[in-house]
Structure 1
Amino acid sequence: MWQDFKKFALKGNVLDLAIAVVIGTAFGQIVTSLVEDLIMPAVGILLGGYSVEDLSYPIGSAELRYGAFLQSVLDFFIIAFSIFMAIRLFSKLKRKDDAPAEEEAPVLDKKEELLVEIRDLLSKEKTGQ
Structure 2
Amino acid sequence: MRYTLLLHYSEPAESDLDDAAIAEGMRRMSAYAAALHAAGVLLAAEVLQPSELTTTLRREADALRVQDGPLIDSKEQLGGTLVIDVPDLDAALGWASQAPALEWGGAVEIRPGATHTIDGVWTTGG
TM-score range, shorter chain: under 0.3
- Scaled by the length of structure 2, the TM-score of the pair is 0.22
- Scaled by the length of structure 1, the TM-score of the pair is 0.21
Structure 1 or 2: more helix by fraction: 1
Q: Which one scores higher on RCO, CA 8 angstroms, separation ≥ 6?
A: 2
CA radius of gyration, larger in: 1
